[in-house]
Amino acid sequence: MTVLLIDDDPEVLDSSRQTLELEGLAVQAVTEAEAALARLDSSWPGIVVTDVRMPGMDGFALLERVRAVDPEVPVVLITGHGDIAMAIRAVREGAYDFIEKPAEPGHLVELVRRALDHRALVLENRRLRAQLADGGAEGRIIGRSPAIERLRAAVANLADAEVDVLLFGETGTGKELVARSLHEAGRRRSGNFVALNCGAMPDSIIESELFGHEPGAFTGAQGRRIGKLEFAAGGTLFLDEIESMPMHLQVKLLRVLQERAIERIGANRTIPLDLRVVAATKVDLLKLAGEGRFREDLYYRLNVVTVPLPPLRERREDVPLLFRHFLDAAATRSRRTPPPLDAATLGRLAAHPWPGNVRELRNVAERVALGLGDGLTPATSALPAAGDAEIEPLADQLDHIEKQLIEDALARCGGRVGETAERLGITRKTLYLKMRHHGLSRDDFLEE
């Protein structure tokens, strides 16, 4: 990733370049905006940091030209003549952030790193979308954390291995997704992928669902039915919530796994099967076996290879990438433009405990795509009840509290916007927008 640095003052340009390079960042420094544009394209892996007031093409004109090339390239504007009006204009016109001269080195480096991370996420998301469009299995398992890299490596290693696999992970960690990836990455991809949730099937029909039946095998069996096991021949059978399978069917499943053959209910002919079984559970099957609630021999038969799936709280660095992926998908389905995300929002997402794991994150993205707040709290009706007219709406109360907190922080920081934003844990851009919303001016808080 590269920082494209533009300033018509050679001394300022050289100082900023040295500051960034000393932090290990790759920098390309130029004194003219036109020279910078020649280096950009839609797949360029970097960000733009530019002075505003320059001869010829100024920073705002450059911002417009960069956004025409790729609207998702972060552009940071720097000026020695800044004010809130200019900051608001920068935000409106699509700048990633706005910083004043002289830029404090630590703040400049921090801002540049955030912008580079943002650009990396954008490019990674595009790559994943392209892989998903091509049906690539690698693109299904999204993330860059060590835990997900290990999971992808396990899928690649086991895809063509003719062994049954047990997936172990909490609810919502993507067990079916991994099972499909195992299927699609292996030689069985041309066969059927058949999924059966053992916990969602009534005991009265699960045996028929698994093994199929012949006409007249039981009351209501008017025709022949091909069961899930037989339908999965040549492909993969995914048994989710295997711990919920009734004990009497566990015995029959064990025999199928050992002999790779079935008999339909009401038939005497044995049908050979060539299939792979991937089972999934969210509980400790060996512990269940010790309690007499799961067959120990079936556990050891399934447990040829166990693949653990990490919960989302153990790979928080994947949250922004996953969220952007789900947000884009949700916005596309609802025919809406994905809303912009600031660092404060992504920070709240990263800090959330995610008890529902990736499934919960997907639901949050759906709500955000529909414009329902930050998505972390499911939308509910806010209509006031009769007799409650004297109570100020919660949104207004929170608005007043937010204004008071910002006023207090600005006063404590002597009107220094950068320091105030840092202490509040939000970006300068977000702070400028909130100050404008509340009618606040930093001039009112400047120290004498």
Give per-residue pLDDT as tens, 120-142.
878 877 776 665 555 444 447 88
Domain boundaries, the chain: 2-130, 146-309, 313-369, 394-445
Distant-in-sequence, close-in-space partners of 191: CB < 8 Å, separation ≥ 6: 232, 233, 234, 235, 236, 275
CATH topology of domain 313-369: Helicase, Ruva Protein; domain 3 (1.10.8)
For residue 234, pLDDT beyond 80? yes
Same fold for the domain at 313-369 and the one at 394-445? no
Question: To the nearest whole number, what is the mean pLDDT of the chain?
Answer: 83
DSSP state of 103: P
CATH topology of domain 146-309: Rossmann fold (3.40.50)
CATH topology of domain 394-445: Arc Repressor Mutant, subunit A (1.10.10)
Q: Where are the beta strands (DSSP E) in 34-101?
A: 46-51, 75-79, 97-100
For residue 265, pLDDT beyond 90? no
| Closest to 17 in 3D by CA, of 144, 129, 105 | 105
For residue 73, pLDDT beyond 80? yes
Mean pLDDT to the nearest integer, 406-416: 78
DSSP per-residue codes, 290-306: HTTSS-HHHHHHHTTEE
CA 52 from centre of chain:
34
pLDDT in tens, 51-69: 888 888 888 898 889 988 8
CATH topology of domain 2-130: Rossmann fold (3.40.50)
Phi and psi at residue 420, to the nearest 5°? -60, -45
For residue 173, pLDDT beyond 90? yes
Name the CA dihedral angle for 341, 344, 345, 347, rounded to a multiple of 10 degrees. 120
